[in-house]
A = this chain, B = another copy of it.
Amino acid sequence: MDMAADIPSDHFISRRIDIGRITLNVREKGNGPSMLFFHGITSNSAVFEPLMARLSDRFTTIAVDQRGHGLSAKPESGYEADDYADDIAGLLRTLDRGRAILVGHSLGARNSVTAAAKYPDLVRSVVAIDFTPYIETEVFDALEARVVAGDQLFDNVAAVEAYLARRYPNIPADAIKIRAQSGYQTVEGGLRPLASAAAMAQTARGLRSDLAAAFREVTKPVLIVRGEASKLVSAAALAKTSRLRPDLPVVVVPGADHYVNEVSPEITLKAITNFIDA
């Protein structure tokens, strides 16, 4: 947590930004209009490096460690959709770079759509990857169990990688490596997740809150992306979401599970640019 500001890492700038309500860690690369990235639960900003490397030639790409995650602050409470969305609004106001494209995966998609609905003046558009309203209770039960089970002590990075490869069987080895190297800290006896266990438990519960209102109300363009083999967003949940908002474009990525941007970065990249460049 004592990482100095503005350390370049593989050409990414890592810096901490005090937005008043909280201090957030971000990774940044490139120039142009703002494109912000928001990761899923237990993850962190590093997972977007492959996409940022490809988009930073024409966008200021900024991936955010959301509250409770990565190198950002981890308050004891405040992990509802509104807390995360208010962080996005505060960050966008602090950055003061104009309306931003928000790319969110899972928790990050929920937070991005919530922010776009609540703060339309700050947002240009949203790419919402594999999180929709109408996710079934038993799916949330399974997600919560996986999230809680991640709070372990690991002997070393190899043990972390082995665990992550079992937990995410479709994510390629290079993307697993990014998660292993970016998401853990050295503690007495080994490595533990950077993500706060208490924050993860609250965040997992908060994911169950109704999201239909935000999807119904959002006036900014939202691209809905689903992994065809996703165990989080069922085909039924997507169909019901499309009935709620038939005007929102949908991309279903063949062969991808929930972790669309890590499993299928090329299709994700093309889907983003097809949406943004239209």
A267 lies within 8 A of chain B by Cβ: yes
- Whether A252 and B247, one on each chain, are in contact in the complex, defined by CB atoms closer than 8 angstroms, is no
- Whether B221 and A248, one on each chain, are in contact in the complex, defined by CB atoms closer than 8 angstroms, is no
Q: How many residues of A contact B (CB 8 A)?
A: 27
Query: Which residues from chain A sit less than 8 Å from chain B, CB to CB?
Result: 101, 124-125, 220-223, 242-243, 246-254, 267, 270-271, 273-278
Given A276-B278, A278-B221, A254 contacting B250 (CB threshold 8 A) = no
Q: Which residues of B contact A251 (CB under 8 A)?
A: 246-250
- Whether B242 and A278, one on each chain, are in contact in the complex, defined by CB atoms closer than 8 angstroms, is no
Q: Which residues of B contact A271 (CB under 8 A)?
A: 246-247, 249
Secondary structure at the A interface, as helix, strand, loop or mixed, is: mixed
Specify how many copies of this chain sit in the oligomer. Answer: 2
Question: In the complex the two chains form, what is the Cα distance from A266 to B111 in whole Å?
Answer: 28
Q: Which residues of B contact A275 (CB under 8 A)?
A: 221, 249, 275, 278
Which single member of B242, B274, B278 contacts A252 (CB below 8 Å)?
A: B242
**Which chain B residue has the least Cβ–Cβ distance from A256?**
B246
Q: Which residues of B contact A277 (CB under 8 A)?
A: 124-125, 220-221
Q: Which residues of B contact A278 (CB under 8 A)?
A: 101, 124-125, 221, 223, 275-276, 278
- Whether A246 and B242, one on each chain, are in contact in the complex, defined by CB atoms closer than 8 angstroms, is no
